[in-house]
Chains A and B, each alone.
Chain A
Amino acid sequence: MMQKTVLQSEHINKYFRDPVKVQVLKDITISVNQGEFVAVTGKSGCGKSTLLYILSTMDTDYEGDLRIDGDLMLGKTEPQLAKIRNEKIGFVFQFHYLLNEFSVLKNVMLPGLKLRKLSEEELKHKAMERLKMLGIEAMAPKMAYRLSGGEKQRVAIARALINDPLIIMGDEPTGNLDKKNGDIVFDLFKQLCEEFNQTLLIVTHDQTFAENTHRIIEMEDGRIIG
C-alpha cells in the first residue's frame, strides 16, 4: 500500500547574509512518508539545524518549495504558519525548553489549549495519558523547572504529542542527555513509530541512534550525500 507523503522539500537553498553571503543549504530535496522514522546526520556545522528550522516552518527565509501534508508553505502568513506548527508539527529541542512558569501538566496541555479541538477537561485527561505512556505521570503537578534533564525531555515529547501531530521533529533531542536517558528517549521514539505509526524526523550525530531508524539522510556541507 502506498504511504502518503507527509513532508516534502524541493530544491531548498538557504543563505546567510551576515557578515558575508554564504550558502548553508544547497538544493535540498527530501520527502518523508507517513509512519517513517528518519534520522538526519552529518558533521557539526553542516546545516542540519538550519534545515530543520525551515522544515518546521519557523524559518521562512529560504528558496525552494516546502510542502507539509501536500500543502505549499510558500506565501503563508505568520499566523497561518503558527497554526500549522500547532496542529501538525511536534517539536523536540536539544535543550529541554519547557515553560518554567507552569506546571508539567500545563506545559503539556498548552499547545492543545491553543488548538482548542478538545475541552480543557479532555485535554487534561489526554495529557495525563501521554505522561503515563512516557512514565512520568507522577511529575504532572510539579513545576517544570524542578525536573531533571531526562524528565524534562520526556515532558517535551509529551507536549509534542498532545495534538496528535502529523510529524515529530527533533534537533538532537538526546544530545544533552546521558547514555541512559538518551536510550530511554530513543526507545520512546521507536515505540511511537511502531505502535502508533508516528512519523518522526530526528537530527542526531549519535551513530547508533541513527542506525536504528528506518532511513538515514546524511548531510555534508549543506548538501545531502545519501
Chain B
Amino acid sequence: MNLKLIAEIAKALLLARWRQSLVAAVGVTFSIAMFIALLGFMNGLNGLLDGLMLNRTPHVRLYNDIQPNPNQPVNQSEAYKGGHNFIQSIKSSGGRVSLYNNAAIMQAVKADPRVLGLAPKISAPVLYNAGTIDITGTVSGIEVAAESRLFAFADYMSAGKAIDLKNVSNSIILGQGVANKLLAEIGDVVQVTTSKGEQLPLKVVGFYQSGMKAQDDVQSYASIATAQKLLGEANNYITDIQVKLYDLTQAPAVAKEYAQRFQVDAVDIQTANADFETGSSVRSLISYVVGVVLLIVAGFGIYNILNMMIYEKMDTIAILKATGFSGSDVRKVFLGIAITIGILGGLAGLIFGFLVSLLIDQVPFTTASLPTVTTYPIDYNPIYYAIGLLFSLITTYLAGVFPARKASRVDPVVIIRGK
C-alpha cells in the first residue's frame, strides 16, 4: 500500500492547521492524564483499603458455631412424625467451640494444592484487670510466624517485636486501645482473668494497631500455648483454622467443600465481607466513567477540527481525487490525521498522568489507623497506561471515522464546478 504517501499528505494537512490540531490533541492529553491519575489514585486507595481488611482476613475460616442442634429429639420421634413442632426458645447444647480432630484437618488442608497456607487460632474472652476496674476483651492465641506470613500481622505492630510472642513465655501483645486504657508499657505485667475465673499474669512484649478502633480497644494477642493455658485447655485445643488460598475467588467453593468434608462450619471471605468488594468496584467504576466522559468530550474536539479541516480543504480533496487518488485514499488521510492526534495526545497524556500521579504520591497522608502509610497511595499498574492509550486510540478513531467518510465522499465535480 501507499501508506508513506498517505502519511505524507496527512502530515502536510495536519501542519497546515497545527494550532487547531494542537488544541484537539491537548484535549486528549488532558482526558488521558486525568484518567491515569484518577485510576492510579482510586486503585491505590483500593489497595490500601484491601490491605486494611482483606489481606488480614482469612479466605476461608473453619470453626464450630454455637447454635441449637437443627435435629432436635422431637423431630426424631416416630410418634410425632406427622405433627407440627412449635417448641420455642430451644437452647444450644454442649458449647463445644473446639475443633475436634483439628490436627488431622490441618494436615489435610495443608496438602490441598489450592491452599497457600493456614494459621490456627484460639479465641478466648477475657477481662483485663486494671486496679479496681475490669475491661472486657478478647485474647487471640496465634501462631505468630504463620500469622505474619499470611495475614501481615507484624506490619501492624506499633511497638515491640511480633516474634517475642513466641520467644517469651506467658507474653501478650496488647491492642493499642487496650494498652492506653491499662496505661501499660512494654515490659509491664498485666493481669488477665478468663471467663472461667482463672487469673494469669502476662508480660507485655508489644502493641498492635489494626486501624479499626473498635477492634484495638478489646483485642490482644498471645501464643497458642498461652491461650490454651488461659482457657485451661489441653494442647490440642483450637477454635479456628484460618486458611489462605492462592486464588481468592475460589474461597466460596473451598469453604463449602471443607464444611462437608470436615463436618465443621466454614465461612468464605466474600460472605464475611460482602460489602467490601462493592466499595472497590464502585471506585474503579467511577474512575473509568470519568475517564470515558472526558475522552468523549475530547473526541468531539477531534471530530470538530476534522470537520472544519475537511470543509477548508475541499479543494485539496477535489484535486487529489481528480489526479487519481481514490475515496479510500482520502479517507485514510483523514483517519491518519485523527489517529495521529490521538496517539500524540494520548502519549502526552500518559506522561502527564504519570507526573500527576507522582505529585499526588508526594502529598502527605497520615492516619492513625494506617501506621505504614505516609503519603496518598498510588497504583502505578502499567495496565492502566495500556488501557488509557487504547481508549485514546478508540475515541480518536471513532471521532475520525465519520469526518473521514465524509471526506472520502466529496464529489470533485461539485467542488471544481463551484468555483
Contacts and interface: CB of A to CB of B under 8 A. Distances in A.
Given A97-B315, A116-B2, A85 B323 contact: yes
B325 interface: yes
A102 B413 contact: no
A81 to B, nearest CB: 8
A111 interface: yes
B390 interface: no
Given A49-B417, A58-B412, A99 B316 contact: yes
B323 A114 contact: yes
A141 to B, nearest CB: 15
A60 B417 CA distance: 15
B327 interface: yes
A91 B323 contact: yes
Interface in B1-47: 2, 5, 12-13, 15-16
A111 B323 CA distance: 6
Contacts of A49: 417
A117 to B, nearest CB: 12
A114 B2 contact: yes
Given A95-B419, A114-B2, A59 B323 contact: no
B322 A58 contact: yes
Interface in B286-344: 315-316, 318-329
Contacts of A115: 324
Contacts of B15: 101
Given A83-B324, A95-B419, A114-B2, A101 B16 contact: yes
Contacts of A100: 16, 316
Interface residues of B, number: 25
Nearest to B412: A58
A130 B325 CA distance: 21
B416 interface: yes
Contacts of B323: 85-86, 91, 110-111, 114, 159
Given A58-B412, A101-B13, A86 B324 contact: yes
Contacts of B5: 110, 113-114
Contacts of B412: 58
Contact of B319 (A94, A97, A116): A97
Contacts, number: 72
Contacts of A78: 326-327
B66 to A, nearest CB: 81
Contacts of A209: none
A71 B20 CA distance: 45
A219 to B, nearest CB: 17
A226 interface: no
Contacts of A58: 321-322, 412-413, 416
B413 A82 contact: no
A53 interface: yes
Given A53-B413, A93-B416, A85 B16 contact: no
A101 B309 CA distance: 13
A93 B417 CA distance: 10
Contacts of B321: 58, 82
Contacts of B325: 82, 86, 114
Contacts of B2: 113-114, 116
Nearest to A97: B319
A111 B12 CA distance: 16
A98 interface: yes
B320 to A, nearest CB: 8
B13 A85 contact: no
A79 B324 CA distance: 9
Contacts of A94: 419
Interface string B40-67: 0000000000000000000000000000
A87 interface: yes
Contacts of B315: 97
A89 to B, nearest CB: 8
B413 A59 contact: yes
B82 to A, nearest CB: 85
B322 A91 contact: yes
Nearest to A59: B413
Given A101-B12, A101-B15, A85 B322 contact: yes
Given A86-B325, A159-B323, 9 more contacts: A58-B321, A78-B327, A82-B326, A82-B327, A85-B322, A93-B322, A97-B315, A99-B12, A101-B12
Interface of A: 49, 53, 56, 58-59, 78-79, 82-83, 85-87, 91, 93-95, 97-102, 110-111, 113-116, 159, 171
20 contacts: A53-B413, A58-B322, A79-B326, A79-B328, A82-B325, A85-B322, A85-B323, A86-B325, A91-B323, A97-B315, A98-B319, A99-B316, A99-B320, A100-B16, A110-B5, A111-B323, A114-B2, A114-B5, A114-B325, A114-B329
* Minimum-distance CB pairs A-B, first 8: A86-B324, A82-B326, A79-B326, A101-B12, A111-B323, A85-B324, A101-B16, A97-B319
